[in-house]
Structure 1
Amino acid sequence: MGWDKELDEIAQRRQAAKALGGEPAVARQHAKARLTIRERIDALLDPGSFREIGPIAGAAEHTDTGELAGMTPANFVLGFGKIAGRPCVAGGEDFTIAAGSPNLAGLRKSIYTEELACQYRVPLVRLHEGSGGSVTGSAGKGAPPTPPEPVYAPHRFASVGRALATVPVATAALGAVAGLPAVRLVSSHYCVMTRQTAQVLVGGPALVERALGQAASKDDLGGAAVHEKSGVIDDVVDDEAAAFAAIRRFLSYLPQHVWALPPALPCTDDRNRADQRLADIVPVDRRHVFDMRAVVRAVVDQESFFEIGRRYGSGQITGLARLLGCPVGVLANDCRQLAGSMTAAGARKVRRFVEFCQTFHLPVLNFVDEPGFMIGAEAEMEGTVRAGAGAVLAVAMATIPWASIMVRKSMGLGAAAHYAPGSYILAWPSAESGALPVEGGVAVAFGREIAAAADPAARRRELEAQFAARRSPFPRAEALSVHDLIDPRETRARLCDWIELAWPLLDQQVGPTSFTYRP
């Protein structure tokens, strides 16, 4: 007889698992312009590279004679695959079964994802659409309750913390994500959501209305318009294809794990390329703004700048790029947003980004136009000084190679978040530095004199011009307070020279990092 019966049952179970929640449920998913989890994984990974873990995990039903009558597969799909030829772990909820609320096998596979990534030291990608636990339990309605975990069980989130400390983790919200999946979604280094089809929620509308008496839709509670400014999500994209492309690009700058260096690639961009626009991109009139992103793109390798979190803490620009083929973190100020000042949100953004670069050994290019911490009643209520201190200390404790380009303002305590120990510092002719921006400093120090003047406005302008002249970068260069005062068009060439010297130093930094207490 052999094992024909068992082999046939394996095939039947595999076929049932591939069918997910059945044709009607899959059709409903497609009708809402959303892919199934299996389609998502295939779209994310290199073609044909997916190797599933636990493909027949689930709850089987048998006839009285022991024949397989049916099967409800685990509503979480998990396995190994490749992105750009490099191994990774990928998984996500199957919304076609119980709206992604984990059944017993699905929960086990979900929890196992981080363990797998840590064990094999490969990046982890989670594609989320699902709710958290159900009042009926993971076994479903009518089933006896699942016994609670014993007191000696490992903490469910311990592996989440280990993964974040050792391998790149990227996630996507591709539908409604609530409860446990929402916590796992944001427990990542990079998180993206689709604009029209995704929401991220601690609790959904029914739960919120019952608990708080507040009527709100999923989009009101956690749509893209909410979270691209809340800091929960790093990027919002138009559709699922764009989400997969963003994740693939994000991972292309990162090592497989912290015991390896980021992947340097051959560079076809001229290291001595001198963009003529940089000569006068900063206006002579200090009251006028300019495009810092254009500065960044003019310096790093062409088409390599990948911005992260543009709508959150918008005075601070963060992203990834390549310089002479080497991956780098990019930190800059956007003077078109509150003059580039550091708000509480901006400070939290900087701190998280610096810790991310430190974790994965990414040198930082910092283009500085910082007027200082944001001031005012709203800034005080948001706790700007505490958040700002956390950002400053993150930079002060950083050991990664760091290059700071003084583009324009470098003012006050906020400026301390732009110069790590041992920074390579270049200044442009437009650079100015001091304890306070000239306008505010003059108003504080000479308020009475200005008020008593025959023409207060003229006296204010006179004093501002006088103190602005004192902030010339030439004295800094004379005092060796910068490594050099340069023609802005030289910036790329000088930074390429620097990265050649700094990159070999990263060999001494491989392995996990740690962070001391910060306010």
Structure 2
Amino acid sequence: MSIRPELLEVLARRALTEDTARPEAVKALHERGGRTAREHVADLIDPGSFVEYGRYVTAAQEDRRSLDDLLDRTVADGIVGGMATIDGHPCAVLSYDYLVMAGTQGMRGHHKTDRLLDVIERLGLPTVFFASGGGGRPGDTDIPLVSALDVTTFAAWARLSGRVPRIAVVDDNCFAGNAVIAGCSDLVVATGGSSLGMGGPAMIAGGGLGEVAAAEVGPLETMTANGVVDVACDDDSAVDVARELLGYFLGRREEWTAPDQAPLRDAVPEGERRAYDVAPIVQTLCDEDSVTWLRPDFAPELATALGRIEGRTVGIIANDTRHTAGAITADAGDKVARLLQLCDAHGFAVLSLVDTPGMMVGVEAERTALVRHTSRVLVAGASLQVPMIGVVLRRAYGLGAQAMLGGGTHEPLMTLAWPGAHLGAMGLEGAVRLAMRKELQAIEDEEEREQQVRELTAQAQTHAAALNVARHFEIDDVIDPAETRGIVARLLEAADVDGRLTGSGRTVDVW
């Protein structure tokens, strides 16, 4: 069959946009551990499902470059994007192309991105954005520019917060405008080869701040410790992690396996002073292999995760007593508030596992703006339109416990407690020392005074025991820990919580 010349021209031009047209550049990228934009897209989506926008666009630099050079070196103006399916679900995917001027953002590339973001908003498409690149690109001459501050891409991407789930993947240098794309996303995945920063080496040097290598600007260990990155992973697993995260937003999974619940009966040590790892509790309550920890190295005293219970996505917040005894710090306040907002925006119920002595206290703690940051938890909890389910594992004291429960024990859909749990306005020994201060000061012998504190604390523990709290109906039930998952599952069923269909659509604070 003959092919018309105009079709041959299209096919030839299309071939120039493929990775096979630039083998040496692809080889060099592979040798330093990178992957091309088209490789990112192909690895993520279902084969044959990609519908691309703007394949033939070139950089706006005809005043300074030949057409052949533009076709060869500015393919797609450095961004590949379109619609596809991922595990059968309609989604969108965009990837800056590090082979085109280090993945920098050109003006036509911005126009392409804006076009796709409009389509994403219209269709409500969950989106994965491979964000690595060097930021805004100087040198586009064909479009009259002065400041370029009228670029709408960043506002359009940020405006999608709470409307569609947005996951950014960073596996290389990601500076300036590219970093804003990552930072405005709901979840950020990054690899060991990544470096994130609002300014790259050239901007740092231009600001008189010295010479800095790109890898030293914002390495992964820095960005996990300060909470910029939600999930860190190996270079080879970034796409798999992005696909797994996206799956939480795509509705209920019909196939799941429940772990043995009996170990929960011994998961919390006796007494109040022994620390323990809360992760096994979370993993036991959730479906097998369904938990993804978010920002684990940032504010580790407060664990946050996404998981599933009988196939339904839930957000999990849990005090980790191995750090600050589980007290809520300023960073922990921001960490939990953001997860609550993410869950509320996208329709995930919240499971709160409480074991806290309360808010962090002390002069040093107050210097971290503790009041402002921890109060965010109460604001986020009070604003929830999705159900929260509270489970007091051991200690629930003071404002910290109230914050973990959305403001109080009757704010969640149900508040449960495990045997041995205690609830109070503050730590029980501290409450005794405060309430009985005059009486204790009157006891001159120190040993006798401390014995009196121990006896009064024991009485307070009896009064604050979960069964007594339940007798006064300040909580809803005290249960066998092995029953927890079943009760939570029935509550979720009653609330008919099914992910994105029931979210509030509120903006997610990216802090």
Instruction: Work out the number of aligned pairs and report it.
Output: 496
| 1:147 equivalent in structure 2 | 145
SS of equivalent residue, structure 1 residue 191: strand
The percentage of aligned residue pairs carrying the same residue is 28
| 1:269 equivalent in structure 2 | 257
In 1, are the aligned partners of 2:347 and 2:497 still within 8 Å (CA)? no
| 1:437 equivalent in structure 2 | 427
Matches for 1:340-379 after TM superposition, within 5 Å = 340-379=326-365
In 2, are the aligned partners of 1:274 and 1:492 still within 8 Å (CA)? no
| 1:313 equivalent in structure 2 | 299
Which protein has greater RCO, CA pairs closer than 8 Å, 6+ apart? 2
**Most deviating of 31-40 and 305-314:** 305-314
**Most deviating of 207-216 and 372-381:** 207-216
SS of equivalent residue, structure 1 residue 426: strand
For 2:499 and 2:51, the matched residues in 1 are separated by 33
Structure 1's 61 and 368: CA in aligned 2 closer, same or farther, altered over 3 A?
Answer: closer
| 1:250 equivalent in structure 2 | 245
Matches for 1:31-42 after TM superposition, within 5 Å = 31-42=31-42
SS of equivalent residue, structure 1 residue 398: coil
For 1:345 and 1:61, the matched residues in 2 are separated by 45
Pair 1:160-2:160 in alignment? no
For 1:436 and 1:216, the matched residues in 2 are separated by 48
In 2, are the aligned partners of 1:20 and 1:97 still within 8 Å (CA)? no
Deviations 1:450-481, CA, capped at 9 Å, x for gaps: 68433155454444334333321111111122
| 2:268 equivalent in structure 1 | 282
| 1:125 equivalent in structure 2 | 128
SS of equivalent residue, structure 2 residue 232: strand
SS of equivalent residue, structure 1 residue 367: strand
| 2:94 equivalent in structure 1 | 91
**Most deviating of 370-379 and 177-186:** 370-379
For 1:130 and 1:21, the matched residues in 2 are separated by 21
Structure 1's 444 and 21: CA in aligned 2 closer, same or farther, altered over 3 A?
Answer: farther
| 2:414 equivalent in structure 1 | 424
Instruction: Give, in angstroms, the shift of residue 118 of structure 1.
Output: 0.7
Instruction: Give, in angstroms, the shift of residue 303 of structure 1.
Output: 2.0
For 1:359 and 1:377, the matched residues in 2 are separated by 35
For 1:370 and 1:169, the matched residues in 2 are separated by 32
Pair 1:100-2:103 in alignment? yes
| 2:457 equivalent in structure 1 | 464
| 1:75 equivalent in structure 2 | 78
Structure 1's 150 and 303: CA in aligned 2 closer, same or farther, altered over 3 A?
Answer: closer
Deviations 1:283-305, CA, capped at 9 Å, x for gaps: 11211012211111222222222
For 1:304 and 1:125, the matched residues in 2 are separated by 20
* Runs of 5+ consecutive residues of structure 1 not aligned to the other structure: 256-262
Instruction: Give, in angstroms, the shift of residue 165 of structure 1.
Output: 2.4
In 2, are the aligned partners of 1:37 and 1:94 still within 8 Å (CA)? yes
**Most deviating of 452-461 and 424-433:** 452-461
Instruction: Give, in angstroms, the shift of residue 183 of structure 1.
Output: 0.3
CA RMSD of aligned residues (A): 3.0
Pair 1:217-2:213 in alignment? yes
| 2:48 equivalent in structure 1 | 48
In 1, are the aligned partners of 2:417 and 2:466 still within 8 Å (CA)? yes
For 2:375 and 2:67, the matched residues in 1 are separated by 66
Structure 1's 212 and 67: CA in aligned 2 closer, same or farther, altered over 3 A?
Answer: closer
Instruction: Give, in angstroms, the shift of residue 441 of structure 1.
Output: 3.2
Instruction: Give, in angstroms, the shift of residue 40 of structure 1.
Output: 1.1
Instruction: Give, in angstroms, the shift of residue 59 of structure 1.
Output: 4.8
Structure 1's 169 and 373: CA in aligned 2 closer, same or farther, altered over 3 A?
Answer: same
For 1:514 and 1:53, the matched residues in 2 are separated by 27
In 1, are the aligned partners of 2:325 and 2:357 still within 8 Å (CA)? yes
Instruction: Give, in angstroms, the shift of residue 336 of structure 1.
Output: 0.9
In 2, are the aligned partners of 1:75 and 1:105 still within 8 Å (CA)? no
Instruction: Give, in angstroms, the shift of residue 438 of structure 1.
Output: 2.4
For 1:470 and 1:44, the matched residues in 2 are separated by 56
Deviations 1:316-353, CA, capped at 9 Å, x for gaps: 11112221222211111111111111111111111111
For 2:243 and 2:223, the matched residues in 1 are separated by 22
* Runs of 5+ consecutive residues of structure 2 not aligned to the other structure: none
Aligned letter for 1:160?
Answer: W
Instruction: Give, in angstroms, the shift of residue 158 of structure 1.
Output: 3.2
For 2:219 and 2:32, the matched residues in 1 are separated by 16
Deviations 1:54-109, CA, capped at 9 Å, x for gaps: 111115999xxx99786132111111111111111111111112111123332322
